[in-house]
Amino acid sequence: MNKKTALILFERVERTILFIRGQKVILDSDLADLYHVPTKVLNQAIKRHKNRFPNDFIFQLTKNEKIEVVTDCDHLRKLKFSPNLPYAFTEHGALMAANILKSQKAIAASF
């Protein structure tokens, strides 16, 4: 990966980081996008490996938190119509998710 590609990736990740409940987190839809898997696949993998994700690695947003992030973040507007509450991953949770996914991007991120 050259410097320009790394910078673009860093900026992309940086834009998806949110501050919720006093923590820097990334939502499941953004994490799935970074790892090139559908959000549903990510969440299914998390459910299968729930014991690897303690509360300080992942938490589910409340209805009010979801409304707030959808209102504040243009790139999350598609969540407005989803009946599901998104999951928020801390840094450790995002790295652990890379370890359980089988996509090439996730595998590369876990090294």
How high is the pLDDT of residue 26? Answer: 95
Question: What is the reported pLDDT for 111?
Answer: 44
CA atoms of 10 and 37, how far apart (whole Å):
19
Q: SS in 3 state form for 36-79?
A: CCCHHHHHHHHHHCHHHCCCCCEEECCHHHHHHHHHHCHHHHHH
* pLDDT recorded at residue 10: 60
In the chain, which stretches have pLDDT less than 70?
1-11, 102-111
Tokens of 16: 């998806």
- Threshold 0.85, pTM exceeds: no
In the chain, domain spans:
3-109
CATH of domain 3-109: 3.10.260
Residue 3's pLDDT is what? 59
